[in-house]
Amino acid sequence: MKDLIRPVIVAYDISDNKARKNVFKILKMWRLDGQKSVHECRLKKNQAQELFIQISEHINQSTDSIMIAWIETHRKILYRGLGRDSLSKNLWEWEN
């Protein structure tokens, strides 16, 4: 199976301003879009690994955190805010 390009979300919480700025610069090269500390990218598995390594070099593991999560495109996306509500009256009832 060939290495597919898949959507991924990268989120971080970095306490040091200089480190946060460095991580943001790295993500600007990889991302499609984002805001503050959450970014959307489209990556192959090896690219996600490389991005994780690049970012990890700038964070303090005792105070900071980073998360990279693959987006499952076959699942319904839940959201709130501007636009329409995607959630039913019962938040925990999932539609198929």
pLDDT in tens, the chain (96 residues): 468 999 999 999 999 999 999 999 999 888 887 788 899 999 999 999 999 999 999 999 999 999 999 988 777 777 777 655 555 555 445 444
Average pLDDT of the chain is 83
CATH number for the domain spanning 87: value is 3.30.70.240
What values do phi and psi take at 89, rounded to 5? -60, -40
What confidence score (pLDDT) does residue 82 get?
67
Domain count, the chain: 1
Tens-digit pLDDT profile for residues 55-67: 999 999 999 999 9
Domain that holds residue 43: 1-96
What confidence score (pLDDT) does residue 96 get?
45
Cα dihedral: 10, 72, 91, 84 (round 10): 80
